[in-house]
Amino acid sequence: MRSPARPVPQPLPQEDSDDENDIELTEAFGDDDDDDELGEGFDEATGLMTSRCSLEDEYDLEDGYSAGSFRNLVCLMIVVLIIAMLAVVIPETGALWYLKSPARIPVDYKCQIPWEGDANMTAAIAANATKFLESYRERTKERWDRSYAELKASMFDFKSTYFPKYLNDDGSSIYESGCGVGITLFMTLEILQESSGIDNLVVYGSDQKEDLVSESSAVFDKLGPAHADRGVFCVADPTDLGFVPENAFDLAYTGYIRPLKDPLNIGGNQTDNYQKYQQICDAVDWEGLKLKELAQETQEKWYGENVRELARLAKPGSPVIVEQVSKRNCDSTFDRGGVSEDWWTTSARNNTYGWNINPESIVIEVAKLYVDRYHVFMLKNGKKPE
């Protein structure tokens, strides 16, 4: 069926008027009563278009073209302009953060040991975030016997020297084994942003204690830096991270490997245990020397397996970093157990624990806050993917 023919517009009768320009504009664009149809109103509070553009098909009375089409074109141009402005302004404010990076969760996996976050802890943090953060930064940490501020100052040079080169703003991923309540990971993000302007990172972690994982997750959810996102945090044995994908992270590290306090399973209370190991260190007879050797081998195996898992998770050519390393028990009683500095190169060169680490890349630096500890930087063998 043929549609009825459009009516042919008739010319308007000419009227006497001293303002011919006003007549021409009115004929082409409509008078003031058409403002609502033209859709030129904007909400003053939000700056967003609130009125509609007319879709009615009207004709210019003189030239015969569709004035409605022209108005639609104008409206379309306005919409495009608004979108362009938002595309520039909003990403800078972080309002569309998840559009800034195409891969917000570059590594995805499920925890091997199911756990539930502590709802009371999360609620407490959320209820008074400012006070919590102040105490988080200034209070003395039980493990470190130092405040967050002191730790950050002592670690700033090391982290700002060895971390930034291997990270970028394209959603680089960091994994920390033994993350605890998230102190060193939180600190690392702040130092990277302050020293090198690196942000847009995704962080992952694990710890053996569920309450610590719960607290670290709550801290990052409520107080985490705006320039980072939380990936997956799990309860896990640091020597058994097989559920985490290998060759997956741009940087893998641990802020501390807690030494075995009783590598020979002697037992007894803490004081008696300490005295027995001191006697072993001082021994000169065959039995005492053998026990000392066995205790150190057990300690080294513990460290070696921790590092093996970190190295497995790192991408080829990426850093594997161990901070705050304790010295051997018989060399220093500060931590009652650890490994010597030359152990790292020997273990890497012989690949004793399957690290796949380049021994020539190893750098040892004495810790500033605790002189009986040191930091280790290493690179995994291979070339990092572009």
CATH class of the domain comprising 119-379: alpha beta
Give pTM, 2 decimals.
Answer: 0.70
Residues contacting residue 339 through CB under 8 Å, at least 6 positions apart: 299, 300, 303, 325, 326, 327, 328
Yes or no: say if 224 and 186 are a contact pair by the CB < 8 Å rule: yes
Note the pLDDT tens digit of each residue in 249-292: 999 999 999 999 999 999 988 888 889 999 999 999 999 999 99
121 or 182, higher pLDDT = 182
Q: Is the pLDDT of residue 313 over 70?
A: yes
Yes or no: say if 200 and 104 are a contact pair by the CB < 8 Å rule: no
Q: Which amino acid is at 68?
A: G
What is the spatial distance between Cα 322 and Cα 310, in angstroms, rounded to a whole number?
9
What is the spatial distance between Cα 130 and Cα 124, in angstroms, rounded to a whole number?
11
Note the pLDDT tens digit of each residue in 166-217: 998 788 999 999 998 787 888 899 999 999 999 889 999 999 988 778 777 7
Q: Which amino acid is at 79?
A: V
Going 141 to 310 to 205 to 207, the CA torsion angle's sign is: negative
What is the spatial distance between Cα 181 and Cα 179, in angstroms, rounded to a whole number?
6
**If DSSP codes are grouped into helix, strand and coil, which group holds residue 178?**
coil
At residue 289's C-alpha, the angle toward residues 283 and 294, to 5°, is 125
Note the pLDDT tens digit of each residue in 126-177: 566 556 656 666 665 555 577 888 899 999 999 999 999 999 878 899 999 9
Calculate what percentage of the chain has a pLDDT beyond 70. 65
Q: Is the pLDDT of residue 26 over 90?
A: no
Give the pLDDT score at 292.
95
> Both tokens of residue 264?
């020979």
Would you place residue 6 in the very low, low, confident or very high pLDDT band (cuts 50, 70, 90)? Answer: very low
Give the pLDDT score at 49.
33
List where CATH 3.40.50.150 sits in the chain. 119-379
Q: Is the pLDDT of residue 378 over 60?
A: yes
Would you place residue 20 in the very low, low, confident or very high pLDDT band (cuts 50, 70, 90)? Answer: very low
Q: Is the pLDDT of residue 82 over 90?
A: no
Give the pLDDT score at 135.
66
> Both tokens of residue 314?
């790192």
Note the pLDDT tens digit of each residue in 341-359: 999 999 999 999 999 999 9
End-to-end alpha-carbon separation of the chain, Å?
62
Strands 251-254 and 201-207: what pairing?
unpaired
Q: Which residues of 283-315 are buried (b: 16+ CB within 10 A; e: fewer)?
A: eeeeeeeebbeebbeebbebbbbbbbbbbbbbb
> Both tokens of residue 316?
């080829």
